[in-house]
Amino acid sequence: MHMTVENELFRETVSRFVQQEIVPNVDEWEQLEQIPRELFRRMGELGLLGIEYPVKYGGAGAGFWMTVVLAEELARCRSGGTAFSIIVHTDMSSPWIASVGTEEQKTKYLPGITSGQTVCALAITEPGVGSDMSSISTRAVLDGEDWVINGSKTYITNGVYGDLYFVAARTRETGRKHQQLSLFLVEGGTPGLSVSKKLSKTGMWASDTAELVFDGVRVSGTNILGQEGEGFYQLVAGLQRERLLSAVLCISAADQTLTDTVEFLSQRQTFGQSLSTFQALRHRIADLLTEVEAARQLTYHAVRKFVAGEDCATEVSMAKLFASEMANKVSYECVQMHGGLGYMRELPVERFARDYRLWTIAAGSSEMMREIIAKSSIS
C-alpha cells in the first residue's frame, strides 16, 4: 500500500497549510511574479522541505510516496508557479546533493535546504541548448585546485533569488559525448555569477525565472557534485524524479480545475437551467475525469517501479507525456465550459490553462518523451 496512514496524515497537514497559508496569498504572489522567501522558511519550520533527507540533516527520512502527497496537495493551491518553485527546490535540484554529494557537501548545505534558508535552482538549459542536454556549451576548467565556469543559462526557475545553483557544465572536450559533463554547486553571490534578465512568461508567474551569466565564476574543487565526467548520467537519473513529480502536479491541478468547473456548472444558469444538467457538458466532464484517473493510475504505476528501484524510464516518460497532454486537454475544455468568464484574467481556470501549458515543454518535452518510449520498443 503506497498511501499509508502516515502519508494520509501528512496529506492533512500539507492540505491545511496550503489552504490556510498559500491559497489566500497566491493572487498577490502571481502579481509579484515570485513567492516570498518567508514561504520557504515557513515550510522549513513545518518540516515540509527535504522530507526524504536523513533526519540528521533536518529531513524526515520519508519515502517518495510522501513527496508525491506533498506535490498533490501543493498543486491544489491554484497557482502553478507557486507549486513549481517549491518542487524545484525540494525535488528538481537539491536531491543531487543527497544522491551523489560528499558528506562535507551534505553537512554544509542540506540543513539550510531543509530549513528553507537556502533556496535552490537547477541550471542546465542554455540559450542554444535545451532538449539536447549533452550539447551544452557552458565550460568548467580546472585552474589549480579551483574550477572556473564560463557560459550562460536560461529559463532557470528560482534563478533570480536562488542561493544555491546546481550547474551543468562541460569539463571535457574529447571522448564520448555523454561523458563530458559534470555538475557543480555554485552559491548565489559568487563573483562572476549574475542574473542578466528576469524573464517574463505566459504563465507560472509566481515562480521567478532567470537568465544567468557565468563569467569566470571560480568555485573550489570541492564544489563538484559527484564524479567528474558523470554529470550527464547523474542528470538523467535525477530527471526521473522530476518527470514523475511534474506528472503528479499536472494530475492534481487538473483534478482541482475539474472540481472548480463542476461547481461553476452547477451555479451558472442558461435557458432556465443549471449548466450541470446539460448532457453534452456532463459527458464532457465524465470523459475528463476518466482521463485524470487514467493519468493518475499510469503515474502511480511508474512511481511504484521508481520506488522499487526498477528500470522505469519508459513508464516515467509515458506518465509525464500522458499527464501533461491530459492537463492541456482539461484546461482547453474547462475554459470552454466557463464561456467568456473562462477567458478572463485571474480566474483559476484561466491561470491553470496558462500555467500547465508549460508541462509539455519543460522537464523533457512531449517529443522527447515519445523518443524515449519509442526507443524502448523500436530499434
Ligand X SMILES: Cc1cc2nc3c(=O)[nH]c(=O)nc-3n(C[C@H](O)[C@H](O)[C@H](O)COP(=O)(O)OP(=O)(O)OC[C@H]3O[C@@H](n4cnc5c(N)ncnc54)[C@H](O)[C@@H]3O)c2cc1C
Catalytic residue positions, numbered: 242
Contact by Cβ (8 Å): 118, 109: yes
**CA distance to 57, 84, 100, 149, per residue, from 106 (Å):** 7, 24, 10, 22
Nearer to ligand X by C-beta: 49 or 88?
88
Minimum CB distance to ligand X smaller for 58 or for 162: 162
Identify the CA nearest to 84 among candidates 362, 344, 348, 375.
Answer: 362
- Which of 110, 362 has the CB closer to ligand X? 362
Binding mask 119-148 toward ligand X (x if CB under 6 A, else -) reads ---xxxx----xx-----------------
Sign for the CA dihedral angle at 208, 209, 213, 217 comes to positive
Nearest approach, Cβ of residue 364 and ligand X (Å) = 6
62 vs 363 by CB, closer to ligand X: 363
Work out how close the CB of 136 gets to ligand X at its nearest, in angstroms, rounded to a whole number: 9
Binding flag, residue 362, ligand X (CB under 6 A): yes
Residue 80 binds to ligand X (criterion: CB under 6 A):
no
Residue 252 interacting with ligand X (CB under 6 A) = no
Q: Smaller CB distance to ligand X: residue 22 or 362? A: 362
Decide if 349 contacts 323 (C-beta within 8 A).
Answer: no
Answer for which of 57, 64, 109, 155 binds ligand X (CB under 6 A) is: 155
CB-closest chain residue to ligand X? 130
Binding flags for ligand X, 269-308, as an x/- string (CB under 6 A): ----------------------------------------
The DSSP-derived string for 274-304 is EGGG-HHHHHHHHHHHHHHHHHHHHHHHHHH
In DSSP terms, which residues pair with 302 in a beta bridge? none
Determine which residue in the list 37, 367, 374, 375 makes contact with ligand X, applying CB under 6 A.
Answer: 367
- Report the residue number, 338 or 357, with the smaller CB distance to ligand X: 357
Figure out which of the listed residues 278, 365, 373, 376 binds ligand X, where binding follows CB under 6 A: 365
Using the contact rule CB under 6 A, the part of the chain among 6-14, 99-107, 149-157, 290-298 near ligand X is 149-157
Specify the pairing of strand 193-198 against strand 209-220. antiparallel
- Binding residue for ligand X (CB under 6 A) from 14, 193, 204, 248? 204
Counting contacts by CB under 6 A, is residue 361 touching ligand X?
yes
> 103-128 burial, b for 16+ CB within 10 Å, e for fewer?
eebbeebbbbbbbbebbbbbbbbbee
* Residue 362 DSSP symbol: S
Smallest distance from ligand X to CB 160, Å: 11
Dihedral-angle region of residue 216 (phi above 0 means left; psi in -120 to 50 means alpha; beta otherwise): left
Is 157 a residue that touches ligand X (CB under 6 A)? yes
Distance of closest approach, residue 209 Cβ to ligand X, in angstroms? 5
Tell me which of 178, 201, 268, 305 binds ligand X, using CB under 6 A. Answer: 201
CB contact at 8 A, 337 and 258: no
Contact window for ligand X (CB under 6 A) among 155-163, 171-179, 255-263, 276-284: 155-163
* Residue 4, phi then psi, degrees to nearest 5: -75, 170
Q: Where are the alpha helices (DSSP H) in 93-191?
A: 95-100, 103-115
User: Please, are residues 50 and 90 in contact by the beta-carbon 8 Å criterion?
Assistant: yes
Window contacting ligand X (CB under 6 A); options: 41-49, 228-236, 274-282, 364-372: 364-372
The grid coordinates of residue 316 equal 516515467
Nearer to ligand X, 39 or 156 (CB): 156
For residues 44 and 114, is the Cβ–Cβ distance under 8 A? yes
How many residues touch ligand X under the rule CB under 6 A: the total is 20
Cα–Cα distance, 90 to 250 (Å, whole number): 17
Give the separation between CA 312 and CA 256, rounded to whole angstroms: 28
- Residues in contact with ligand X by CB under 6 A are 88, 122-125, 130-131, 155-157, 201, 204, 209, 358, 361-363, 365, 367-368
